[in-house]
Chain A
Amino acid sequence: MKTNGSPSLRDRLALPVRDIPRSGIRDFFDIVSTMRDVISLGIGEPDFDTPWHVRESTVFAIERGATHYTSNLGYLELRQALSGYVRKKYGVTYNADHEVLVTVGVSEALDLALRAILNPGDEVLYHEPCYVSYRAVILFAHGVPLAVETRAADNFRLTRAMLEQQVTPRTKVLMLNFPNNPTGAVMSRQDLEEIAAFARERDLLVITDEIYAELTYDGAHTSIASLPGMRERTLFLHGFSKAWAMTGYRLGYACGPAEWIDAMMKIHQYTMLCASSLAQKAAIEALARPETDIATMVDEYRRRRNFLVASFAEMGLECSRPAGAFYAFPSIEKFGIPAKEFALKLLEQERVAVVPGTAFGACGEGFVRCAYATNLEQIKEAMKRLQRFIGRLG
C-alpha cells in the first residue's frame, strides 16, 4: 500500500536484500515443477533414504520426550561425539565444551561464521563456481565478496596464484568448499598446503565448508584445518545432510577456535536458540556407526560417477573428472549457446533437468551441473536423452 509521499515497501527493504537477485536455482525449479515426467539431474541432495537406524532413533527420541530446548551449543553428548568423529576422521582435535557448535545445517553455520567475523567492508575471498548461497551470505553480513574463478583446465582446483590476484589488505576471510558443489573438484593435501601457506602469510581467517568430505571417490579427504598452523585460524564446517542423507533434519556443526565459536554462539543464542532436539538425537545415532552407513552410498556414487563420466566421453562432452560430492560439471561451450538456454531446451525437448552453471557464479557460463544423486536407471535414460539432444544441436 502506498500512501501520499511515503516510499513503496520495496524501497524500504534492506539494501543488501533488495539488491540481490533470487537464486537462479529457484527460477529453474519454478519452470521444472510445471512439467511432468522429468528426469532430474538437478537435485543437490542424496536419493538414498536416511539410514533406518537413524530414523528409528528419531521416533524413539519423540517417544522418550526429547522435545525440549537443548543447550545453546547443542547436547553435550552430541558435541562429544562430533569432537571424536572429527578427530578420528580428519585429524583435528576440538574441545567439546567450547570449540564445537551445533547448528541448523551448514547453512546456518556459514551465516553465523561470517556475521561473527565481518565488519562492514571486510572482504571475503571465495572461489567460483560455488554453492549458490556464498555470495549472498557474505553480502547479508555486510562483507564484500571477492570471487576467484577456478577453471576446468585445472580440474576446478584453487591455486595460490589465483588468490594472489584478488587479495587486498582489506581481505579478512578465505572461504573454501572442497569437495566442491557444483564441480565435484577436490584438493589434495599438497594443493591445500599451498593455500594454507597463503592464508598464514596473509594472516587470513579460513572458513572451510567440508560438507561433502566423506564423499570422495579416488582417495581420502584432507581437511585444511589439519595442516600445521591452520587450526587456530580455521573454522571447520560440516553436517549430516549429504553423507548421511539427512537434508530435512537440518543439522550441521562448526568446530574452531573458542573465541570464534563463542561469538557465533552469541548470535545463535539470540536468533536460533538451538538446533532441533530431535535432529540432534538422530545425529548422535548417526555417529554410532558412520562407516557402514556411508560406505555403501560412497560405493554407489562412485559407480554412478564412473558411468556418467564414461557416458560424457562417449558423446564427446568434455568434463573434468569429478572426484567428490555428487556432481559433474561438463562443458557445453562448444554448442555456442548460453548455459541457461541449453538447460531450458534440454528440459523442453527431452525432459531432462540440469542446472545452468551460471547459477553458481558468472564463470559457470558454458557449463551445466549434473547431479548423480539419482539411481542408475534414471541416469542411463538421462544420458540417452542428452546424447539425442546434443546430436541435434550438432
Chain B
Amino acid sequence: MEELLKILQTNACASRADIAKQLGVSVNEVEQKIAEHEKRGVIRGYQAVLNEDALNLDTVTAVIEVKVTPERGGGFNRIAERLSKFPEVRSAYLMSGTYDLLLFVEGRNLREVASFVSAKLATIEGVLSMSTHFMLKTYKRLGVLMDSSHEDERLTISP
C-alpha cells in the first residue's frame, strides 16, 4: 500500500505538514495526493475509532450470517447492496464458506435489532436463512486494542 495511505490509516488526523515531513515531500504534494484519493473513492471517509464499551451505551451489535440465493447475472451483488442500504447495517461482507453474507447490525437495544432482523432482513426475497450472534465485548477494533493500559517498560536512557 502507498505510504501516505498507511499513515492515514493509522492516524487520519495527522496534519498535512507532519505527513509531508515524514514522506520527505511538500505539503502541496500531500494535499494533492489526498484530494486525488478522495476523488477516486479510494479514501471513503474518516472516522474516530471509539471504544463504545467505555461510553456505557445500551446499543447492541449483532453479527448476522446470511445465506442467500445468488441471482443469475448479478450473483450476490444486488441482494448484498440491497441489504447494505439499511442504515442499521454497519458493515457487510461477502464470505466464503457455509454462509454467504456477513452483516454487522447495530440497534439502540435488543428489541430494535430483533425487529429489524425479523421484519426487514428475513423477509427480503432471496434470503434463505440467518444466524444471529450478539456481540458482548470489544477487545480490538480496526487494529486498535481497546485496553491500552500499556506501560513503556524501557529504561529512559540506554546505550
How many angstroms between the C-alpha atoms of A23 and B157 in the bound complex?
Answer: 12
How many angstroms between the C-alpha atoms of A304 and B21 in the bound complex?
Answer: 9
Number of A-B residue pairs having CB atoms within 8 Å of each other in the complex: 59
Name the interface size band of chain B: 10 to 19
How many angstroms between the C-alpha atoms of A32 and B21 in the bound complex?
Answer: 29
How many angstroms between the C-alpha atoms of A304 and B22 in the bound complex?
Answer: 6
Chain A residues, Cβ within 8 Å of B21? 306-307, 310-311
B75 within 8 A of A: no
Chain A residues, Cβ within 8 Å of B7? 303
B45 within 8 A of A: no
Within 1-39 of B, Cβ neighbours of A (below 8 Å) are at 3, 6-7, 18, 21-24
Q: Decide: B22 and A376 in contact? CB cutoff 8 A.
A: yes
Point out the residue from B23, B152, B154 that lies within 8 Å of A303, measured CB to CB: B23
- Taken residue by residue from 113 to 130, chain B's Cβ proximity to chain A (1 for < 8 Å, 0 otherwise) reads as 000000000000000000
Q: Decide: A29 and B156 in contact? CB cutoff 8 A.
A: yes
**Min CB–CB distance B28 → chain A (angstroms):** 15
Q: Decide: A33 and B156 in contact? CB cutoff 8 A.
A: yes
Q: Decide: B6 and A299 in contact? CB cutoff 8 A.
A: yes
Chain B residues, Cβ within 8 Å of A310? 21, 24
Q: Decide: B156 and A43 in contact? CB cutoff 8 A.
A: yes
B155 within 8 A of A: yes
**Min CB–CB distance A29 → chain B (angstroms):** 4
B158 within 8 A of A: yes
What residue of chain B has the Cβ atom nearest to residue A49's Cβ? B150
Chain B residues, Cβ within 8 Å of A47? 152, 154
Q: Decide: A43 and B158 in contact? CB cutoff 8 A.
A: yes
B87 within 8 A of A: no
Q: Decide: A299 and B3 in contact? CB cutoff 8 A.
A: yes
How many angstroms between the C-alpha atoms of A371 and B21 in the bound complex?
Answer: 17
How many angstroms between the C-alpha atoms of A40 and B155 in the bound complex?
Answer: 9
B97 within 8 A of A: no
Q: Decide: B159 and A303 in contact? CB cutoff 8 A.
A: no
A132 within 8 A of B: yes
What residue of chain B has the Cβ atom nearest to residue A30's Cβ? B157
Q: List 14 A-B contacts (CB under 8 A).
A: A25-B157, A28-B157, A32-B157, A33-B155, A33-B157, A43-B154, A47-B152, A132-B159, A299-B6, A303-B3, A307-B22, A310-B21, A355-B157, A376-B18
Binding site for B on A (CB under 8 A): 23, 25, 28-29, 32-33, 38, 40, 42-45, 47, 131-133, 181, 299, 303-304, 306-307, 310-311, 353, 355, 359, 376, 380
Binding site for A on B (CB under 8 A): 3, 6-7, 18, 21-24, 152, 154-159
Q: Report the 5 A-B pairs with minimum CB-CB distance, sorted nearest first.
A: A303-B22, A29-B157, A42-B157, A310-B21, A132-B159
